[in-house]
């Protein structure tokens, strides 16, 4: 029998006028080999940004629908670290296959709560909850009674091929627990492989030291060879993109002056929401900028969910001339801008950000990195949050030494930054080990058939440590609670808002209500309860989230103003 995956892939490429990619073909050759032998494998794809890795999901889904009796799995689950890229991929797949087969599942959208559809695109947190017997649709039942319909969602997981996309963002962005993401991801992959599932790990910038820790751990656990790799070396059909030249520069002057002086389709990426918002406000209030750039768009994680989804759709169409964003746009978004301006970041993030420029054949791109001195002067105490100051500055200094004042191909840039991550004084920042305790807890949750309240709470604590949330946050305007402007925030932000406003949200006969609850607030604020997930305390007390005054939405716009921003970008108003 011919290779089913390759038949479908070549058919799709012929229909769309695409050229086949060498290493996508190699991926399908290896997948089919293991399908034919009925052997589970972790397939590591080390392929560059813009190579078309997400087309693998489309091909597998079409193969499932076309040859359902020929495969040893009946669905595909595509796990991504950012909701922004989840929405983009889900919309694309729905357009091709329809809502009946494709579901987008996370805190903001619940297309397929039990992961039933033939293709589910979901977050790592949602996947993890279902894996440890806590379906997101049954939080309250799990916490109160220790029972759920978890067998159903887990049956869907174990009858799926699972893709973990951009795992560096899963591993390196998991809240305060620095080894939590790798530990939990390794335990999940182990559980899937032990039951015969096929797993794909797809990455463009996973540091070598982390990949080796994952591989060595799994090799020690399985007596047989359980891992295979597809590594990019050279693909003639990708050269016209990967050899695109980018001009690299650093900048110490005013950001507005830089953007005004040379009009190009530009993305500016900050590490903090507050800096992106500050810059956006300054830009849209400057007529010299608004006259030169027809559409200026803001995207960050603190925007209301539906506006965030609208913004992602607009960016995907490359309508906006100037996008001001946070890291939510750095990975997986299929856009090709002329210029990217970024603050200093870790090298793995820099590879991803450069992947948003010059993604089409024979394009020229520009990378500008803002100097640390400029950022400290303009934005104050800039070095707070997830990004490590020393690593980011060392990366900035390496860029200045290696690339400034010259053009370089995207291939050379990515390869040199990849080697830079392997330098001894840089790789120490990525020297993350699997934590035995976290690993064992996930394996226990996976193995035991019955869940107990103690196990549920322990699993919640792990998820809290990894993601620091998420908590649903509802803007309150007088007696009106605007569900459409609901935010998803982390636990630290939620506790700060509760301390400031003492507003809890409950659902009373289908209507949202805001309540001041001094007793629960006191419980939440006690230091000894910091280890108890806030979600646990809210649900036990009958609340679905917290409330904040509307003016706390980080854009500081009224509902009407927010909607006008979207309408202006869409061209509905001038």
Which tens digits make up the pLDDT trace of 117-140?
A: 999 999 888 898 889 888 877 866
* Overall fold of domain 4-233: Rossmann fold (3.40.50)
Helix residue ranges per DSSP H, 360-409: 372-379, 389-402
If one counts every other C-beta atom within 10 angstroms of the C-beta of residue 386, the result is: 15
| Distance between CA atoms of residues 6 and 279, nearest Å | 47
Query: Which of 392, 269, 285 has the alpha carbon at shortest distance from 337?
Result: 269
DSSP 124-153: HHHHHHHHTT--GGGHHHHHHHS---HHHH
| Distance between CA atoms of residues 320 and 296, nearest Å | 6
How far is C-alpha 559 from the geometric centre of its chain's CA atoms?
Answer: 27
Tokens of 241: 């993109």
Q: What is the pLDDT of residue 178?
A: 63
User: Strands (DSSP E) along 422-503, which ranges?
Assistant: 471-477, 480-481, 487-489
Q: Is the confidence at residue 555, as pLDDT, over 60?
A: no
Q: What is the CATH number that goes with domain 239-429?
A: 3.40.50.300
Determine whether 20 is exposed, middle or buried from the number of CB atoms within 10 Å of its CB (0-12, 13-18, 19+).
middle
Q: Is the confidence at residue 398, as pLDDT, over 80?
A: yes
Answer yes or no: are the C-beta atoms of 3 and 58 closer than 8 Å. no
| Distance between CA atoms of residues 14 and 408, nearest Å | 32
Percentage of the residues of the chain whose pLDDT score is greater than 90: 45
In 3-state terms, the chain is what percent helix, strand and coil (to 5)?
50, 15, 35
How many Å from the N-terminal Cα to the C-terminal Cα in the chain? 59
Q: What is the mean pLDDT of residues 307-328?
A: 80
Angstrom distances, CA of residue 189 to CA of 94, 250, 331: 27, 40, 22
Tokens of 65: 């629908």
| Distance between CA atoms of residues 561 and 305, nearest Å | 16
Contacts of 401 (CB under 8 A, 6+ apart): none
| Distance between CA atoms of residues 270 and 340, nearest Å | 11
Query: For residue range 19-61, what is the model confidence (pLDDT) as tens digits?
Result: 999 999 999 999 999 988 889 999 999 999 889 899 999 999 9
Q: Is the confidence at residue 248, as pLDDT, over 90?
A: yes
The average confidence (pLDDT) of the chain is: 86
Answer yes or no: are the C-beta atoms of 185 and 173 closer than 8 Å. no
Q: What ranges do the domains of the chain cover? A: 4-233, 239-429, 468-552
Largest Cα–Cα distance of the chain, in whole Å? Answer: 68
Q: What is the pLDDT of residue 570?
A: 45
C-alpha gyration radius of the chain: 23
Query: For residue range 325-359, what is the model confidence (pLDDT) as tens digits?
Result: 988 777 767 788 899 999 999 999 999 999 888 88
Query: For residue range 445-472, what is the model confidence (pLDDT) as tens digits?
Result: 888 766 665 666 666 666 666 655 678 8
| Distance between CA atoms of residues 278 and 364, nearest Å | 29
| Distance between CA atoms of residues 331 and 80, nearest Å | 10
* Structure-token match 């603050």, residue found: 343
Q: How many helices, marked H, and strands, marked E, lie in the chain?
A: 26, 20
Q: Is the confidence at residue 145, as pLDDT, over 80?
A: no
Query: Which of 42, 45, 107, 112 has the alpha carbon at shortest distance from 75?
Result: 112
Query: For residue range 488-529, what is the model confidence (pLDDT) as tens digits?
Result: 787 888 999 999 999 999 988 878 999 999 999 999 998 777
| Distance between CA atoms of residues 350 and 348, nearest Å | 5
């Amino acid at each position: 029998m011919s290779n089913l995956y390759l038949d479908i892939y070549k058919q799709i490429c012929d229909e769309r006028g695409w050229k086949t990619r060498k290493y996508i073909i190699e991926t399908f050759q290896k997948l089919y080999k293991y399908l034919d032998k009925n052997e589970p494998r972790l397939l590591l794809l080390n392929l560059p940004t813009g190579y078309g890795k997400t087309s693998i999901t489309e091909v597998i889904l079409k193969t499932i629908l076309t040859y359902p009796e020929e495969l040893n799995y009946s669905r595909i689950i595509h796990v991504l670290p950012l909701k922004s890229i989840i929405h983009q991929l889900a919309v694309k797949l729905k357009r091709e296959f329809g809502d009946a087969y494709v579901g987008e599942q996370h805190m903001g959208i619940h297309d397929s709560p039990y992961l039933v559809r033939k293709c589910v695109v979901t977050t790592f947190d949602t996947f993890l909850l279902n894996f440890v017997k806590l379906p997101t649709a049954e939080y309250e039942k799990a916490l109160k009674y220790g029972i759920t319909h978890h067998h159903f969602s887990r049956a869907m997981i174990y009858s799926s091929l699972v893709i973990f996309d951009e795992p560096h963002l899963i591993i390196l962005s998991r809240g305060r627990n620095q080894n939590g993401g790798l530990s939990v991801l390794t335990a999940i992959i182990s559980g899937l492989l032990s039951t015969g599932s096929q797993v794909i790990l797809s990455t463009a910038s996973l540091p070598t030291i982390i990949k080796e820790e994952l591989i060595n751990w799994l090799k020690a656990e399985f007596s047989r060879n359980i891992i295979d790799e597809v590594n990019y070396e050279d693909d003639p059909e990708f050269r016209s993109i990967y050899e695109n030249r980018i001009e690299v520069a650093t900048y110490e002057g005013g950001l507005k002056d830089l953007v005004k002086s040379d009009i190009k389709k530009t993305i500016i990426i900050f590490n903090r929401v507050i800096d992106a918002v500050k810059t956006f406000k300054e830009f849209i209030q400057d007529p010299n900028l608004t006259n030169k750039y027809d559409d200026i768009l803001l995207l960050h994680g603190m925007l209301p969910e539906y506006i965030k989804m609208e913004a992602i759709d607009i960016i995907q169409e490359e309508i906006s001339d100037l996008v001001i964003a946070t890291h939510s746009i750095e990975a997986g978004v299929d856009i090709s801008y002329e210029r990217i301006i970024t603050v200093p970041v870790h090298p793995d993030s820099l590879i991803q950000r450069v992947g948003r420029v010059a993604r089409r054949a024979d394009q020229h791109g520009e990378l500008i990195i803002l100097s640390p001195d400029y950022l400290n002067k303009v934005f104050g105490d800039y070095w707070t949050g997830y990004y490590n100051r020393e690593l980011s500055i060392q990366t900035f200094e390496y860029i200045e030494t290696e690339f400034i004042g010259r053009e370089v191909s995207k291939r050379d840039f990515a390869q040199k930054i990849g080697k830079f991550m392997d330098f001894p004084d840089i790789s120490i920042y990525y020297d993350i080990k699997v934590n035995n305790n976290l690993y064992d807890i996930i394996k226990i949750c996976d193995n035991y058939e019955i869940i107990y309240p103690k196990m549920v709470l322990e699993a919640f604590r792990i998820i809290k440590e990894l993601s620091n949330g998420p908590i649903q946050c509802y803007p309150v305007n007088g007696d009106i609670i605007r569900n459409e402007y609901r935010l998803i925030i982390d636990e630290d932000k939620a506790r700060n808002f509760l301390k400031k406003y003492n507003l809890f949200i409950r659902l009373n006969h289908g209507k949202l209500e805001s309540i001041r609850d001094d007793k629960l607030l006191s419980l939440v604020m006690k230091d000894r309860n910091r280890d108890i997930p806030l979600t646990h305390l809210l649900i036990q007390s009958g609340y679905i989230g917290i409330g904040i005054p509307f003016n706390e939405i980080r854009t500081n716009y009224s509902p009407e103003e927010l909607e006008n921003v979207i309408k202006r970008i869409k061209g509905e108003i001038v």
